Amino acid sequence: MTTNPIKITDTTFRDAHQSLMATRLRTEDMEPIAAQMDEAGFHSAEVWGGATFDAATRFLAEDPWERLRTFKGLMPKTPLQMLLRGQSLVGYRTYADDVVESFVDRSADNGIDIFRVFDALNYEPNLEIAASAVKKSGKHLQMAICYTVTEEGRLGGSIYNLDYYVNKARNFLEFGADSICLKDMGGLMAPYDAVELVTALKEFLPVPLQLHLHYTSGMASMTALKAIEAGVDVVDTALAPLALRTSQPAIEPLLVTLQNTDRDTGLDLNKMLEMGDYLESMLPKYRAELETPRAAVIDAKVLSHQIPGGMASNLVSQLREADALDKINDVLEEIPRTRAELGFPPLVTPMSQMVGSQSVSNVLFGRYTMISEPVKEYFRGNFGTPPSAVDEDLKAKVIEQDGGVEREAPVRPGAALDPEMDAAREAISDISTDIDDTLIYALYPQTGLRFLNIKHGLEPIPDDMKPRTAEQQASPSASQAAPADMSPNARRFNVYVQGQRFEVDVDPSDAGTVVTSASGAPAPSTSPSPSVAPASAGASRDGSDAILVAPMPGMLVSIAVKVGQTVSAGETLVVLEAMKMQNSLPAPIAGTVKELPVAAGTQVAKDEALAIIAP
């Protein structure tokens, strides 16, 4: 007879597809089984938060608030859960307190019942405002401790030992936590470490303890079982078609394993299989997103590089967009080195994105030739206190870029920020006065504004944001082979004639122009990629001009100079948001700004010309 049934949170609609396919699953493809999910008997369903908010607006042309309301209507019985990054909310920086309070309030009103709140550094001051806002909303506050290890690979060592996690749990209880979650993003928690940790926490916790695992290393199902035996109250799983790999353990084998024990889930296997059948039939349309360069289901190397599930799928996606997927192994080797230099932060968003994006930059352009703005903010203390000492040479480089003055780090980074909501309302006043739209802009001023223009009919939906059928995935339009004599400066245009799109390759005849990457080095020779010409039509250039090109796809956030302005080598010309991080791109040579071919707010392709400098 079941005396202490383990409760299950299903992650299929959020973390599962975030981990496996860079959060590309569309609402329309989840709706058909939402009502079945509601009847399944889960403790809760994680359907929102994390990267879903960003991905919906940036890649899918979907309103994330509407997605939440849709789930609430289809799943009235099951508590809906979200992942909230503390003062970073669902973004990649520290937001002002008024943004945090407003976002939590609107999330609660739109349908969230359980808020899983964490900070990427487990830094308590970054949790104060979010936790307080959740309690004020009357919803369930779950405080999550990010689980990680250092090089030793197991619980222990000088940083992430048993005392560290016990002390964090005690501190998090002081926020009024209704439950505590151990959040193992990288699949690094070994089964017997879970027994030790769960046993220690259950001795004093007055609230339920939940376990969130990723399968990446292959240990998660074993770890979940040992944690259940040790007394954990709730575990996260996903339906089999979107489980394992870098996602969560599958519910189906765990359900059968626990049948007729005192921890029997009480869930119906046939209901799980039926929902899984639907997913199997639907997922072929996401074939490209589900592709991975690895043949193995597990990645044993995660025990070395420690990359969490969502970060892994994002890295593959970002490297593919940058036409550099062949560099994936180099990036995986670089990540542990970069993480150590940043003081061993837990690899969870936004720290995982910062470490991952910086590692990609280090591999593609040279180590710290280009330091992203968030990494600079991290060294300035604007994300909180690093777990251990950072690399002093790297810190000195950031200080040098700040004019040689070390900035005093705030105790609570959010307290140092001015309110942001009024400015956000004003910025989109001509588009919308809706508070949810205002929050989209406040979170993502560049990509969010683009989405709002699409949502309100001011811009058409780009082709790459439209849904694709399984047939389209199976037979994508083949790219035409480039002529053998086409130069590396060739670019591909999209040309529209009477509503039809044609791809046209254009090869500049001025072979003397120097094309440079963000690091100032000659841009690598690549096959033609969707882009625009390096300079505006009809521009006259001598052979000594230098062209700053986009080192990777992204959005041109801002332009720091004007045409005709004299600049020094290394001076910031533009800010490019790439891989979800803002990067200041420097002038490759000293000279005069001759052209700025792309307007701020424009989505640009890899190798697209951003500035032309005459010496």
pLDDT at 507: 60
Regarding whether 307 and 268 lie in a shared domain, the answer is no
Regarding whether 271 and 131 lie in a shared domain, the answer is yes
Q: Does 479 map to a domain? A: no
CATH at residue 115: 3.20.20.70
CA angle centred on 261, ends 260 and 264, rounded to 5°: 80
Q: Which two tokens stand for residue 394?
A: 């790297």
Q: Does 223 map to a domain? A: yes
Regarding whether 264 and 351 lie in a shared domain, the answer is no
Regarding whether 193 and 156 lie in a shared domain, the answer is yes
- Report CA-CA distances (Å) from 21 to 187, 328, 381, 427: 17, 16, 32, 33
pLDDT at 271: 97
pLDDT at 316: 78
One-letter amino acid at 582 equals: Q
Domain end marker among 387, 415, 443: 415
Record the pTM: 0.80
Q: Does 504 map to a domain? A: no
State the Cα–Cα distance between residues 562 and 39, nearest whole angstrom.
60
Domain end marker among 415, 431, 459: 415
State the Cα–Cα distance between residues 523 and 132, nearest whole angstrom.
49
pLDDT at 505: 61
CATH at residue 608: 2.40.50.100
Q: Does 460 map to a domain? A: no
Q: Does 349 map to a domain? A: yes
Regarding whether 355 and 254 lie in a shared domain, the answer is no
Task: Give the total residue count for the chain.
Answer: 615
Regarding whether 354 and 272 lie in a shared domain, the answer is no
pLDDT means per 10 residues, the chain with 615 residues, are 88 95 93 97 97 94 97 98 96 94 98 97 96 98 94 84 96 97 94 97 98 95 98 98 94 97 96 97 88 73 72 74 84 90 89 88 88 90 91 92 83 94 98 98 94 96 86 52 51 53 56 46 37 30 76 86 90 82 84 91 87 92
Q: Does 577 map to a domain? A: yes
Domain end marker among 364, 394, 415: 415
Eight-class DSSP state of 194: H
pLDDT at 14: 97
Give the count of domains, the chain.
Answer: 3
Among all chains, which residue has been given the structure tokens 């997927």?
325
Regarding whether 348 and 215 lie in a shared domain, the answer is no
pLDDT at 186: 87
CATH at residue 359: 1.10.472.90
Regarding whether 202 and 110 lie in a shared domain, the answer is yes
Regarding whether 140 and 193 lie in a shared domain, the answer is yes
Q: Does 277 map to a domain? A: yes
State the Cα–Cα distance between residues 355 and 349, nearest whole angstrom.
10
Regarding whether 122 and 41 lie in a shared domain, the answer is yes
Regarding whether 323 and 255 lie in a shared domain, the answer is no
Q: What are the residue ranges of helices labelled H in 203-342? A: 220-230, 251-257, 269-282, 287-290, 302-305, 309-321, 328-341
Q: Does 493 map to a domain? A: no
Q: 289 near 17, Cβ under 8 Å?
A: no
Regarding whether 243 and 187 lie in a shared domain, the answer is yes
CB count, 10 Å around CB of 590?
A: 14
Q: Which domain, by its residues, includes 548?
A: 513-524+535-614
